[in-house]
Amino acid sequence: MAGKLFLLPMLLGDSSIDLVIPHEVKNQIISLDTFFAENIKTTRRFLRKIDKTFNIDGSTFIVLDKKSDHAALSEMLQIIKNGKDAGIISEAGLPGIGDPGSKLVEMAHKENIQVIPLTGPSSFVLALVASGLNGQSFAFHGYLPVKQPQLDKQIKDIERISGQQNQTQIFMETPYRNNQMLKQLIESCHPGTMLCIASNITTSEEYIKTKTIQEWKKTQIDLHKKPTVFALLKQNR
């Protein structure tokens, strides 16, 4: 009989495990011995943090990242088909959002393997609910283009759509480019557009504020190297 594929949560940063991982999810994680991990080092550290006595050496860790091709994913799937329960684990947050992993889940459905998502922190969801922006309609874009003029164009496009559809637009940036991103948003967007900046979510350094672009222009803030989610909504009032 085939095993099950668990989707495991990971911490978003240096936060307390018991603030973001439910007790039974911890138990489920350390009951496994097979992990498809975006980052094996982080995964091992996380397992040890949950349970100091966790049998790292007796477990199997296979890298599942953007370089994993179909053959590699098929091998992972075969392990489950052979009867092993296994978990996909991302570098931060839930697997399959803004990271690889969903490809293996897609293949699992085709093979009728049971997929079980476990609760944990998701930076974009926590940012969204804390933003006060529209939570009835929203879109997530992952990472925006790095280069101009594509970045300016994409920001203007999603701002326009957000106004037309009253749809909150959520995206991220590589932490060392966050200050540039904020500068670009201030340049590209309408002064009245609402922007939520949510940094270091679930850590002791958590910072979540929603202001207009005009207000952000007057705000001194350093986002360098701080994991940040941006959420934007154009006001039609």
Torsion angle of alpha carbons 130, 150, 214, 131, nearest 10°? 0
16: part of which helix (H) or strand (E)?
Answer: none
Q: Which 142-161 residues touch a second copy, going by CB under 8 A?
A: 142
DSSP state of 10: B
Give yes or no for a contact between 36 and 89, defined as CB atoms under 8 angstroms apart: yes
Output 128 or 155, the one with its CB closest to a second copy. Answer: 128
Query: Of these, 23, 67, 218, 237, which contacts a second copy (CB under 8 A)?
Result: 23
- Residue 174 backbone zone (phi > 0: left; psi -120 to 50: alpha; other: beta): beta
Backbone angles phi, psi at 111, to 5 degrees: -95, 10
Tokens 């459905």: give the residue.
Answer: 109
Asked whether position 229 contacts a second copy by CB under 8 A, the answer is no
Tokens 């998701």: give the residue.
Answer: 122
Asked whether position 99 contacts a second copy by CB under 8 A, the answer is yes
Q: Which 101-140 residues touch a second copy, going by CB under 8 A?
A: 101-109, 115-117, 119-122, 125-140
Minimum distance between the CB of residue 58 and a second copy, rounded to whole angstroms? 26
Output 106 or 187, the one with its CB closest to a second copy. Answer: 106
List contacts with a second copy (CB under 8 A): 7, 16, 18-25, 94-99, 101-109, 115-117, 119-122, 125-142, 167, 201-202, 206, 208-211
